[in-house]
Amino acid sequence: MSNTEAQVRPTKKQRELLEFITNFITEHGYSPSYREIMNGCNYTSVATVALHINNLIKRGHLQKRDHSARSLEVVAPDTIDKPFYSNQIKVADEKWLVDNIEAHFVYVEASGRPPLKELDELYVLVGALRVLGLEGAAQSFMPRLAALKKKLQPK
């Protein structure tokens, strides 16, 4: 299944079918049979139900737990239309980010006594590493931040 298929919004009929399945599961504690869906949604055949169910599975709105009866599950209806964001980054992006922060450190350290603004920016960059889950990289910069902070303190 491609990402575009999983992000397609359900049609009006499909939303009605999803709503019926959700309500049925809430009321009974298990998913409806195809015949119960047919009767509940006023379809004329079980084949029509199967067609709609398969399309909803392809679009990522439904899933089957296994190949048994009553195994339909509605896939998080409140998150279907929302994009997923993660704080995980690729190894290549991690290397690029750490290299750029390193270059910024080298520039600031070479200036002798860095301006407070530059030190604040370095703290933000190191904090960003933590937010991205790169705690080890963030910790590696902490001694250098402390040394730069010491340079700013009056003698």
The confidence score (pLDDT) of residue 155 equals 63
Q: How far apart are the first and last CA of the chain?
A: 64
Give me the pLDDT at residue 88, please: 67
Looking at mean pLDDT, say which of 1-5, 79-83, 119-123 comes out highest: 119-123
Q: Does the pLDDT at position 82 exceed 80?
A: no
Confidence at residue 73, expressed as pLDDT on a 0 to 100 scale: 82
How much is the average pLDDT of 41-67? Answer: 86
CB atoms within 10 A of CB 82: 9
Collect contacts of 106-110 with beta carbons under 8 A, ≥24 apart. Answer: 108/148, 109/144, 109/148
More confident residue, 75 or 76: 75
Q: What is the pLDDT of residue 80?
A: 47
Domain boundaries, the chain: 3-74, 91-152
pLDDT of 1 > 80? The answer is no
Fold of domain 3-74: Arc Repressor Mutant, subunit A (1.10.10)
Q: 63 by DSSP, 3-state: which?
A: strand
Give the residue ranges of DSSP H helices in 7-134: 12-28, 34-40, 46-58, 91-110, 116-131
For residue 8, pLDDT over 80 is answered with no
